[in-house]
Amino acid sequence: MMIEVKELYKSFGELHVLKGIDCEIKEREVVCVIGPSGSGKSTFLRCLNRLEEISSGKVVISGYDVSDPKTDINRMRAEVGMVFQRFNLFPHMTVIENIMLAPMKIRGEARDAAFQKGMELLRKVGLEDKADVYPDNLSGGQMQRVAIARALAMNPKVMLFDEPTSALDPELVGEVLEVMKNLANEGMTMVVVTHEMGFAREVGDRIIFMDRGVIMEEGEPEHIFSNPQNERTKEFLRKVL
Ligand code: ADP
Ligand code: MG
């Protein structure tokens, strides 16, 4: 099991955002999380790598018990890659420098090795010709592909994506989804919060429909998209499909 979540609750003061989430995600599984805005999808993802402190329950990811205060969070984070909606590349560093930074600083990798690995990752995301360019000179789609390469530079065991394409112009969405699809095909364990239903259906092994802080329904894409059981799932899909 790559991720185990038991009875996860998360509140911000009086606001109860996650109300008892249970879920298990296996190695190499691609799980797409869908649901209305405000249902707690981002909060759920952020609880997985303790970007948010959980209120109660248990979260184990890549063997690290996130709910245990004694857990070395930095070691855990080195194994859990995350890509956000808005590309958070360092603007004062070139593309390759952005990618080499964490492996050198956190892993202590030698410059040469980090560079070789970085170039290999840029090839993988189709951007080797952009190595020496500053982020300002990239399109949103290219920035997001660099963000994925940068996360992969740490050799993560699992990748978390929070709406990686929703800030992009429509014509740039495809190139990012393509990179994610390749990653899935290579066997990366992935949790993807997305509004791209086509991607979820094609690439997801499992779909989780979240609503108002709970998992309302989950199952194989075929089941969720063609034969949803829950009224809320049906209503949501009617709006987005
Ligand atoms: P989603 O990603 O499904 O749109 P979120 O997890 O971002 O939903 O948000 C769920 C709810 O939690 C929203 O009502 C949001 O305003 C609230 N929320 C999220 N983060 C915080 C925070 N840091 N402080 C207070 N409320 C928050
Ligand atoms: Mg969100």
The predicted pLDDT at position 218 comes to 98
Burial of 37 (0-12, 13-18, 19+ CB in 10 A): exposed
Proximal ligand: closest to the CA of 40:
1
Nearest CA to ligand 1 atom 13: 38
Residue 101 Cα to ligand 1 middle (Å)? 30
pLDDT along the chain (241 residues), means of 10: 98 98 98 98 97 97 95 95 92 98 96 98 98 97 98 98 97 98 98 98 98 98 97 97 89
Cβ–ligand 1 contact at 12 (below 6 Å): yes
Residue pair 10/55 in contact (Cβ under 8 Å)? The answer is yes
Cβ–ligand 1 contact at 37 (below 6 Å): yes
**DSSP structure class, residue 230:** S
Cβ–ligand 1 contact at 39 (below 6 Å): yes
Which atom from ligand 1 is nearest to the alpha carbon of 43?
Answer: 6
The predicted pLDDT at position 161 comes to 98
Amino acid at 1: M
pTM for this predicted structure: 0.97
The predicted pLDDT at position 87 comes to 80
Q: Which of 85, 88, 227, 80 is nearest to 164 (CA)?
A: 85
Residue pair 34/210 in contact (Cβ under 8 Å)? The answer is yes
Cα-based angle 172, 173, 179 (whole degrees, multiple of 5): 105
Cβ–ligand 1 contact at 194 (below 6 Å): no
Proximal ligand: closest to the CA of 212:
1
The predicted pLDDT at position 121 comes to 98
Nearest CA to ligand 1 atom 5: 40
Nearest CA to ligand 1 atom 25: 12
Could you tell me which residues come within 8 angstroms of residue 160 by beta carbon, excluding any fewer than 6 positions away? Answer: 45, 48, 49, 80, 81, 82, 83, 190, 191
Which atom from ligand 1 is nearest to the alpha carbon of 52?
Answer: 23
Which atom from ligand 1 is nearest to the alpha carbon of 210?
Answer: 3
Cβ–ligand 1 contact at 42 (below 6 Å): yes
Q: How far apart are CA 25 and CA 44, in angstroms?
A: 14
Q: Which of 42, 47, 162, 166 to mutate to test the pocket of ligand 1 (most atoms within 8 A of CB)?
A: 42
Which atom from ligand 1 is nearest to the alpha carbon of 46?
Answer: 6
The predicted pLDDT at position 88 comes to 87
Cα-based angle 55, 20, 78 (whole degrees, multiple of 5): 60
